[in-house]
């Protein structure tokens, strides 16, 4: 199992609150995706490179501020 990139938990909601963004629909349009894509990524689906780039452009934050690498659990060998 490979490591994956995911959005930091709660980030999209915090960005909406800080920016006074009225809804997920408005935020999705700002980023250039539909609301279902935004929700899937918010729930842990891996983002596309286009989504990551649009987040950087839209919010002016670094990739490391917005996303985290999730490594698979390593199985212990007895």
Q: Provide the pLDDT confidence category of residue 39 given band limits of 50, 70 and 90.
A: very high
Give the pLDDT score at 28: 98
**Residues of the chain with pLDDT > 90: what percent?**
85
Helices in 1-78 by DSSP H: which ranges? 11-19, 24-31, 35-42, 49-59, 63-66
Say which CATH number the domain at 29 has: 1.10.260
Note down the domain range covering 16: 4-70
30 lies in a domain?
yes
Give the pLDDT score at 75: 46
Give the pLDDT score at 76: 46
Pairing, β 67-70 against β 4-7: antiparallel
CA distances from 28 to 16, 46, 70 (A): 10, 16, 24
- Specify the number of domains making up the chain: 1
75 lies in a domain?
no
- Does residue 51 contact residue 63 with C-beta atoms inside 8 Å? no
78 lies in a domain?
no
**pLDDT value at 21 more than 90:** yes
**pLDDT single digits (tens) 49-76:** 999 999 999 999 999 999 999 887 754 4
């Amino acid at each position: 199992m490979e490591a994956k990139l995911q959005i930091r938990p709660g980030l999209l909601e915090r960005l909406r609150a800080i920016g006074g963004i009225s809804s997920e629909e408005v935020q999705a349009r700002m980023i250039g995706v539909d609301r279902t894509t935004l929700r899937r990524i918010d729930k842990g689906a891996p983002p596309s490179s286009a989504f990551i780039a649009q987040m950087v452009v839209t919010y002016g934050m670094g990739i490391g501020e917005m996303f985290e690498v999730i490594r698979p659990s390593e199985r212990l060998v007895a």
